[in-house]
Structure 1
């Protein structure tokens, strides 16, 4: 699963994974919320793509593995998972339970990423990451005299700029303001895209990236330059059709008040939309596909009857972890 905006990246080979060090292009900015699949759910003709659901519930890497399972094995594993999704053990899976399960699975990659970084980060073994520990690991090898050097020419960011941005985001992720992060808080710090209280910091960082003249707005030229940097353009080359399409998107959809620029509110509605929850949408879709008696919830029997809707899902991805722990045997 790819969660593409504002994720941690390598800082010119110096760093562990500073979260603000590299940002996605405008093509990726629209999808800050969890990307449940690399596939499109529907094609332009509105034909349903079942592979979306397959990857949304399994993850792209495991999709092919589960495609190879027999129907009997798929059903058996799905039955075990269905029992776990039904957290109140009332025999039915409500939309909220399915959403909680999908969210749990979507969050696994964040937790896995944190677990990989944690041993190098938590140097004193107190189960917290202080700002000093993070700074020393990520920027400790950079000599002070090099701090003002530009490492991102396109966005005109120096090492010093990035450190200041990391410090600001660290403070937002630090819920109790004790200047140290738990594993969960560190997950919010390096992967803020699906955390509501990190929404404002995402918008602020995005505005800083795109607003080159620092007037508090993103013009259409700044928008296009972020999407199609001048460094990537060939001399006298014709503007690609997809760039022209983005200009139309800017004028027709992004710029709500039609003043030729995006303010912070408009930028936020585009980058981190609050009127669409992909997890809720996917849960509703799965229930629609498998709810035989139309009671707007799922029984274990309905899931078994429509196992092809769920086989290879991210729920099954969790099942793979259980299987490795002998819970499927």
Structure 2
């Protein structure tokens, strides 16, 4: 952790830098956990014969689903109709399984977009609703770059020197059109790369960079253990560490060469588990597709509104008036 200097004067950029360093704002180069798994869509039992609570929470998000209790069936159907128009991404008047899956994933990850919305103004310095690399660099590293003499600690200097090129590399990976100006979606990918398919290689690379202390391009067993446990000289390893060593041998090092390569690191930190959103999207389409053409019209969805929203609704009434780029 970089030291926060309390005696600094704090113009806006400095203040934001201090928040950034202290961990208040999202910090792309620090990871709290290595393994990223998608959680269940709902804690409810998925049993349609009993109720559609699982489907409601999957389709709307848990917190949003609870507010539908305050709406009449007529209001629920009306709002569902507006939601359907947003799900139909290509506006061809049909909702496909892929569009429904994308919607479910987006709703389930809503907190990520809300997080980005909260910090957006701190980075968008010229208020053009985009964030350039230069804006991000100024907002995050400007004070350090202009006043390096105030960062006397060698560890602080090293941290900044490592973070800046690392963030630039990630920014370039998120910037799909290569103009070094991030849209809201690109900036979300920058701050939360594990949630975007095209960013997963950079997540793997950064993990390797963090753990590979001998810089041979692999993670061996000792490096894997050192990332989670600091061994004191002469101390006995606890049982959980011994278990992790077995995990490394049995499940991490797939080709049994004593180390993890990029593919094995990806298998570890980004496991390809059961796709809950895909399964739920297929379920909703199957149950609502009256003519069995494997896609849904707006009317087919509204006819089966009880499965999608039922007697519950969401704050999508408010949501529909918000900036849709935040969702």
Per-residue Cα deviation, 1:94-126 (whole angstroms, up to 9, x for no partner)? 313313433554565454433332322222334
Per-residue Cα deviation, 1:265-318 (whole angstroms, up to 9, x for no partner)? 111233345787554343224334555776544455664565554338xx9564
Higher radius of gyration, 1 or 2: 2
Counterpart-to-counterpart distance in 2, 1:71 and 1:248: 55
* Ranges in structure 2 where 5+ consecutive residues have no aligned partner: 1-17
Matched, 1:30 2:39: no
Shift of 1:225: 3.8
Q: State the match for 2:148 in structure 1.
A: 144
1:280–1:114 Cα change, 3 Å: same
Instruction: Kindly tell me the number of residue pairs found equivalent between the two proteins.
Output: 295
Matches within 5 A, 1:1-329: 11-13=20-22, 16-20=25-29, 22-26=30-34, 29-31=35-37, 37=41, 39=43, 53-66=55-68, 74-82=76-84, 84-86=86-88, 93-105=95-107, 109-142=111-144, 143-145=147-149, 146=151, 149-150=154-155, 158-226=159-227, 228-230=228-230, 238-240=238-240, 246-272=244-270, 279-288=277-286, 296-298=294-296, 303=301, 307=305, 309-311=307-309, 316=314, 318=316, 320-322=318-320
Counterpart-to-counterpart distance in 2, 1:147 and 1:276: 49
CA RMSD of aligned residues (A): 4.3
1:149–1:306 Cα change, 3 Å: farther
TM-score under structure 1 normalisation? 0.68
* Ranges in structure 1 where 5+ consecutive residues have no aligned partner: 1-8, 43-47, 152-156
Shift of 1:23: 0.3
* Residues 16, 138 of structure 1: 8 Å contact kept: no
Counterpart-to-counterpart distance in 1, 2:124 and 2:215: 37
Counterpart-to-counterpart distance in 2, 1:281 and 1:147: 54
Counterpart-to-counterpart distance in 2, 1:137 and 1:231: 38
* Residues 36, 57 of structure 1: 8 Å contact kept: no
